[in-house]
Amino acid sequence: MTTFSSIPAAARPAATDSIVFGMGCFWGAEKRMAAIPGVLDVESGYANGEIAGTYEAVLAHERMLQWGKSTRRNHAEVVKVTFDPARVDVEHVLIQFWESHNPTQGDRQGNDVGSNYRSAVYTHGDAQQAIARKTRDTYQAALTAAGRGTITTEIAPLESYFTAEEYHQDYLVKNPNGYCGLGGTGVKYPQVEGAAAPTA
């Protein structure tokens, strides 16, 4: 997979943007988001918790929460999506996010259960917050019409972020038969009027 760091400096876009998503296990999320034309890099990480930003710390803290031995917030497993806004806008990136997992499940995704697997959109700036909320409301209307549940996705500013360990990066590229718990809801996001598709 081509990553932003592997693109020669002269070929990199003048401006980039990024947004952070929690979609359950970051392995499948990374693969889904990397497939969007205009996305330059997808990095697995941990975000918006109050503990150390390592895989072992996240798993250990989730056990502590389940045993009632801590009230500190755990990190979510997330992917940081860096994209070229001249080729794909944040709205299209968010649409792929909503369609690629089940945002109604709360603290779980597929077989993965725990607050570290919560659905989340972690943003920078008021504009991203507004677009995230707008797309959530649009997708909720589509889910409701299809008889599905209520979106539980947390939408909040990105407060802390830690890059995941190297063995988690591009996991499904390195391990094509690896686990991916993302199934989505099967409900398509309503077509965006007058919006251009992402360019390859």
Whether residue 185 is contained in a domain is answered as: no
Whether residue 43 is contained in a domain is answered as: yes
The arithmetic mean of pLDDT across residues 168-182, rounded, is: 68
Place of tokens 């919560």: 118
pLDDT tens per residue, range 12-39? 677 999 999 999 888 888 988 999 999 9
Q: What is the pLDDT of residue 200?
A: 58
- Among candidate residues 25, 36, 42, 90, the one labeled active-site is 25
Instruction: Output b/e per residue, 152-183; b: 16+ Cβ within 10 A.
Output: ebebeebeebbebeeebbbbbeeeeeeebbbe
Q: What's the number of domains the chain is made of?
A: 1
Whether residue 84 is contained in a domain is answered as: yes
User: Which domain CATH number covers 67?
Assistant: 3.30.1060.10
Q: What is the pLDDT of residue 111?
A: 83
pLDDT tens per residue, range 107-141? 998 888 999 999 999 999 999 999 999 999 999 99
Whether residue 90 is contained in a domain is answered as: yes
Nearest Cα neighbor of 98 from 148, 27, 165 is 148
Residue 194 has pLDDT above 60, yes or no: no
Whole-prediction pTM: 0.89
Domain span at 20: 14-174
pLDDT tens per residue, range 33-88? 999 999 999 999 999 999 999 999 999 999 999 999 999 999 999 999 999 999 99
Instruction: Give every CB contact of residue 188 below 8 A, 6+ residues apart in sequence.
Output: 99, 142
Query: Which amino acid belongs to residue 182?
Result: L
**Mean of the per-residue pLDDT values of the chain:** 88
The answer to whether 180 is a known catalytic residue is no
The C-alpha atoms of residue 163 and residue 125 are separated, in whole angstroms, by: 21
Whether residue 196 is contained in a domain is answered as: no
Residue 176 has pLDDT above 90, yes or no: no
Residue 145 has pLDDT above 60, yes or no: yes
Instruction: Retrieve residue 117's tokens.
Output: 């697997």
Termini Cα distance of the chain? 15
Instruction: Retrieve residue 21's tokens.
Output: 């998503």
Percent of the chain with pLDDT over 90: 70
Whether residue 26 is contained in a domain is answered as: yes
Whether residue 197 is contained in a domain is answered as: no
Whether residue 157 is contained in a domain is answered as: yes
Q: What secondary structure, in 3-state letters, does the chain show?
A: CCCHHHCCHHHCCCCCEEEEEEECCHHHHHHHHHCCCCEEEEEEEEECCCCCCCHHHHHHHHHHHHCCCCCCCCCEEEEEEEECCCCCCHHHHHHHHHHHCCCCCCCEECCEECHHHCEEEEECCHHHHHHHHHHHHHHHHHHHHCCCCCCCCEEEECCCEEECCHHHCCHHHHCCCCCCCCCCCCCCCCCCCCCCCCCC
Residue 9 has pLDDT above 70, yes or no: no
Distances, alpha carbon 52 to alpha carbons 77, 90, 160, 179, 180, in Å:
13, 29, 10, 25, 25
Place of tokens 């099967």: 186
